[in-house]
Amino acid sequence: MSYKQTKIWNVDNDDMKKGEPLLLQEPTMWIRDNKLIAFPTETVYGLGANALSDEAVSKIFYAKGRPSDNPLIVHIGEKEQLNELVEDIPEVAHRLMQVFWPGALTLIFKAKPVLSTNVTAGLETVGIRMPSNPVARGFLKACQLPIAAPSANQSGRPSPTTAAHVLQDLNGRIDGIIDGGKTGIGLESTVLSIVEETPVLYRPGGVTKEDIEEVIGPIDVDKALLSTKEQPKSPGMKYTHYAPEADVYIVEEPKQFHSAIQRAKANGKRVGVVARELYKEADESFVVHSLQDLAQSFYYSLRLFDEKAVSVILVEAVSTIGVGAAIMNRLEKAAGGKRI
């Protein structure tokens, strides 16, 4: 399955605020024709397909090189669509949706048997979210279909935060891309299961554990987030992810940067640094000023360093409080646990 050309539609948030659905007419028609369309969300770009069609969803796995036993998250434009997709909407879900939908929170429900089995990977549950990005909302509302959409990258690569990133990985492998500019949060959505008696956090994201507990009280954390020996249950976390071409290392203490840079350069390595201060001896340096800044720029900086032919990337460790938990989760994956 290969496409001669991946089409790009340029649509920004201001267009959608003005209410211009005609800009999305063609990609909407293509989705209904079981084609693959990448689109922006407030987290990362997603690779969308009709979630009711086995044919359409199977194309996602082929295009990404994603294992078929890795379930997908379904995106909707209206809360009312939930009634068609899930067996039950518990009271806790209503409380969470009241606060966090539309937004970067995926909720895991018991699924009705209407979705493609390729979406659920044979499980009885499904993760669903309603994005807040205006372009995503306009697109999903126009489609009038549930859209399965993992991140729009080759499996294992850093998730895309711009349309250019999608093109780097999937040009000629998908039908089209809705270019809505750079994403906001920059990390994939938080995933929370509400099928257990006590909700379980399966993947940290922009909606933090602390945010959730302010609304519904204490929640559990998936053991896989606490131990590398456990198999993750969240969509998109079963296999190695987020890795650039370069070797990534977590630097525990800022004072270790100078010696780490010198060692790598002595071995003929081109070095990139992501940290809260500038290290002039590095070949490339990406300075971040806050946890939110790091979250927004994390994948972007990894891909930028690939373009700069960096072979070693040193990233400063951060606190695991709030959004720091999501950052460190992705950083651990990208580094494969390698620390300095």
HEC per residue, the chain: CCCCCCEEEECCHHHHHCCCHHHHHHHHHHHHCCCCEEECCCCCCEEEEECCCHHHHHHHHHHHCCCCCCCCEEECCCHHHHHHHECCCCHHHHHHHHHHCCCCEEEEEEECCCCCHHHHCCCCEEEEECCCCHHHHHHHHHHCCCEECCECCCCCCCCCCCHHHHHHHHCCCCCEEEECCCCCCCCCCEEEECCCCCCEEEECCCCCHHHHHHHHCCCEECHHHCCCCCCCCCCCCCCCCCCCCCEEEEECCHHHHHHHHHHHHHCCCCEEEEECCCCCCCCEEEECCCHHHHHHHHHHHHHHHHHCCCCEEEEECCCCCCCHHHHHHHHHHHHCCCEC
* pLDDT number for residue 273: 98
* pLDDT number for residue 60: 97
Domain count, the chain: 2
Residues 211 and 73 in one domain: yes
Residues 13 and 107 in one domain: yes
Residues 70 and 138 in one domain: yes
Task: Work out the mean pLDDT of the chain and round it to a whole number.
Answer: 92
Instruction: Please tell me whether 43 is known to bind a ligand.
Output: yes
Give residues with Cβ within 8 angstroms of 222, minimum separation 6.
Answer: 200, 201, 202, 203, 230, 232, 233, 234
CATH number, domain of 314, equals 3.40.50.11030
Burial class for 19, CB neighbours closer than 10 Å (0-12, 13-18, 19+): exposed
Residues 159 and 306 in one domain: no
Instruction: Please tell me whether 149 is known to bind a ligand.
Output: yes
* pLDDT number for residue 15: 73
Most confident stretch, 115-124, 226-235, 238-247: 115-124
Let me know if residue 287 belongs to a domain: yes
Let me know if residue 50 belongs to a domain: yes
Whether pLDDT at 19 is above 80: no
Instruction: Please tell me whether 137 is known to bind a ligand.
Output: no
Whether pLDDT at 240 is above 60: no
Domain end point (choices 225, 256, 282): 225
Strands lying side by side in the sheet with 147-148 = 7-10, 176-179, 37-39, 46-50, 147-148, 73-75, 125-129, 105-110, 190-193, 200-203, 220-221
Let me know if residue 234 belongs to a domain: no
Let me know if residue 241 belongs to a domain: no
Between the two ends of the chain, the Cα-to-Cα distance in Å is 43
182-186: average pLDDT:
95
Let me know if residue 190 belongs to a domain: yes
* pLDDT number for residue 70: 84
Confidence at 218, pLDDT banded by 50, 70, 90: very high
77-98: average pLDDT:
97
pLDDT tens-digit readout, 252-295? 999 999 999 999 999 999 999 999 999 999 999 999 999 999 99
Let me know if residue 239 belongs to a domain: no
Residues 198 and 285 in one domain: no
Of 171-175, 225-229, 272-276, 284-288, the least confident = 225-229
Which residue has better confidence, 26 or 18? Answer: 26
CATH number, domain of 81, equals 3.90.870.10
Let me know if residue 236 belongs to a domain: no
Instruction: Please tell me whether 246 is known to bind a ligand.
Output: no
* pLDDT number for residue 180: 95
Confidence at 8, pLDDT banded by 50, 70, 90: very high
* pLDDT number for residue 22: 74
Residues 76 and 109 in one domain: yes
Note down the domain range covering 140.
Answer: 7-225
Instruction: Please tell me whether 242 is known to bind a ligand.
Output: yes
Instruction: Please tell me whether 75 is known to bind a ligand.
Output: yes
Let me know if residue 189 belongs to a domain: yes
If one counts every other C-beta atom within 10 angstroms of the C-beta of residue 223, the result is: 13
94-105: average pLDDT:
98
Residues 88 and 216 in one domain: yes
Instruction: Please tell me whether 189 is known to bind a ligand.
Output: yes
Residues 218 and 254 in one domain: no
What is the CA 157 to chain-centroid distance, rounded? 11
Instruction: Please tell me whether 2 is known to bind a ligand.
Output: no
Residues 151 and 286 in one domain: no
**Whole-angstrom Cα distance, residue 205 to residue 129?**
13
**Whole-angstrom Cα distance, residue 258 to residue 285?**
13
Percent of the chain with pLDDT over 90: 85
Of 3-7, 110-114, 130-134, 334-338, the least confident = 3-7
Confidence at 238, pLDDT banded by 50, 70, 90: low
**Whole-angstrom Cα distance, residue 331 to residue 299?**
10
pLDDT tens-digit readout, 133-146? 999 999 999 999 99
* pLDDT number for residue 228: 52
Residues 157 and 24 in one domain: yes
Domain end point (choices 225, 256, 286): 225
* pLDDT number for residue 128: 98
Residues 209 and 262 in one domain: no
Q: Extract the tokens encoding 336.
A: 């494969």
* pLDDT number for residue 150: 96
Instruction: Please tell me whether 263 is known to bind a ligand.
Output: no
Residues 184 and 321 in one domain: no
